[in-house]
Amino acid sequence: MTILITGATGNVGRPLIDHLLTAGAHVCAVTRDPDSANLPAAVKVVASPFDGLSGATALFVNSRALGDQMAALIQAAADAGVRRIVALSAINADDDDARQPSRFRGDRNREADQLAVGSGIPWVSLRPTLFASNFLGMWASQIRAGDVVYGPYAGASLAPIADADISAVAAHAFLTDDVLEQRVPLTGPQALTNTELVDVIGTVLCRTLRYQEVPATVFSDRFAEMGFPEGFSDAYLAMLAPTVEHAAVVTHDVEKILGRPATSFRDWVTSHRQAFAAGPSL
């Protein structure tokens, strides 16, 4: 099996490569800068996903990495005889665009799902919830600078998933038929409010941290200052608002598929402790 990985240097793609190599698969990785990708020597590296289709038997689709090439690549994969496609989608892919903040950062989760399902290739659509790594971008700088995290809806809840768990499930989807032609919703093991998430980080850091709820306008201005694209904050607010009254969905598919519990938020923070620790920006 030769698997073509798009988004190969990302938080999901890079660990996925390691899983596949360990299992004995051949991997071809797409990266815009092959000379500095620092991928294992066993990996074939290409700059264009179309260059990697020759000899490929399976394809991992990362919509943000592919951009406008996604539809054409999936069609080319079907024409080339690719026998499996695993698409990275999202648990909220079917929601209105206005409740999908990741769309404002380039993700096209709904389209990735639809194109994979309609490709004629045996498919798996992975639908993770919010990546735990998003808290590095949203909160780490605040925590390094002080003891208060400012944001909306202190009582809103999330069940963030460790990025590495998504990679492990993706590898399973390539190497077995267990989830073939399924849409697989993936979450962390527990729904936690924003207040509770900050408390977890504080416990790991041995610090007393506090989540301070702020008005939507203040939140939006702060995210704009941090470089998040226009529209992101409004969509994030719209996604969070319903979870104030109804806790975020928790699934147990990670445990069912991998045979071990999904990584807890506390364990994920522990493994990324240094990124939250006080000191120079990392």
In a domain, 9, yes or no: yes
Structural domain span for residue 229: 134-158+190-248+263-276
Question: What is residue 280's predicted lDDT score, i.e. its pLDDT?
Answer: 45
Q: How confident is the model at residue 36 (pLDDT cuts 50, 70, 90)?
A: low
Q: Are residues 182 and 195 in the same domain?
A: no
Q: Are residues 225 and 207 in the same domain?
A: yes
Q: Are residues 77 and 154 in the same domain?
A: no
Q: Are residues 177 and 239 in the same domain?
A: no
Show the tokens assigned to 274. 């240094």
CA distance 64 to 262: 25
Is the pLDDT confidence value at 267 over 90? Answer: yes
Show the tokens assigned to 210. 């506090």
Count of other CB atoms within 10 angstroms of residue 250: 15
In a domain, 143, yes or no: yes
Q: Are residues 28 and 167 in the same domain?
A: yes
DSSP symbol at 130: S
In a domain, 256, yes or no: no
CA distance 11 to 272: 13
Is the pLDDT confidence value at 188 over 50? Answer: yes
Q: Are residues 93 and 56 in the same domain?
A: yes
CB 176 within 8 A of CB 23: no
Q: How confident is the model at residue 90 (pLDDT cuts 50, 70, 90)?
A: very high
**How does DSSP assign 161-230, residue by residue?**
B-HHHHHHHHHHHHH-STTTT-EEEE--S--EEHHHHHHHHHHHHTS--EEEE--HHHHHHHHHHTTPPT
Q: Are residues 224 and 196 in the same domain?
A: yes
Q: Are residues 42 and 177 in the same domain?
A: yes
Query: Domain containing 226 — which CATH number?
Result: 3.90.25.10
In a domain, 153, yes or no: yes
Q: Are residues 49 and 118 in the same domain?
A: yes
In a domain, 238, yes or no: yes
Query: Domain containing 50 — which CATH number?
Result: 3.40.50.720
Question: What is residue 72's predicted lDDT score, i.e. its pLDDT?
Answer: 98
Is the pLDDT confidence value at 35 over 80? Answer: no
User: Which of residues 186, 201, 229 is at a domain's end?
Assistant: 186
Average pLDDT, stretch 251-257?
98
Counted residue by residue, the chain has a size of 282
Average pLDDT, stretch 178-193?
98
Q: Give residue-wise pLDDT tens across range 199-249.
A: 999 999 999 999 999 998 898 888 888 888 889 999 999 999 999 999 999
CA angle, 20 then 47 then 37, to 5°: 60
Mean pLDDT, the chain, rounded, equals 95
Q: Are residues 153 and 60 in the same domain?
A: no
Q: Are residues 169 and 147 in the same domain?
A: no
In a domain, 257, yes or no: no
Q: What is the pTM of this model?
A: 0.94
Is the pLDDT confidence value at 281 over 80? Answer: no
- Whole-angstrom CA distances from 203 to 150, 196, 209, 210, 273 are 18, 10, 8, 11, 11
Average pLDDT, stretch 140-163?
96
Question: What is residue 57's predicted lDDT score, i.e. its pLDDT?
Answer: 97
Q: Give residue-wise pLDDT tens across range 104-114.
A: 999 999 999 99
Question: What is residue 282's predicted lDDT score, i.e. its pLDDT?
Answer: 35
Q: What domain count does the chain have?
A: 2
Q: Are residues 267 and 202 in the same domain?
A: yes
In the chain, what percentage of residues exceed pLDDT 90?
89
Is the pLDDT confidence value at 17 over 70? Answer: yes
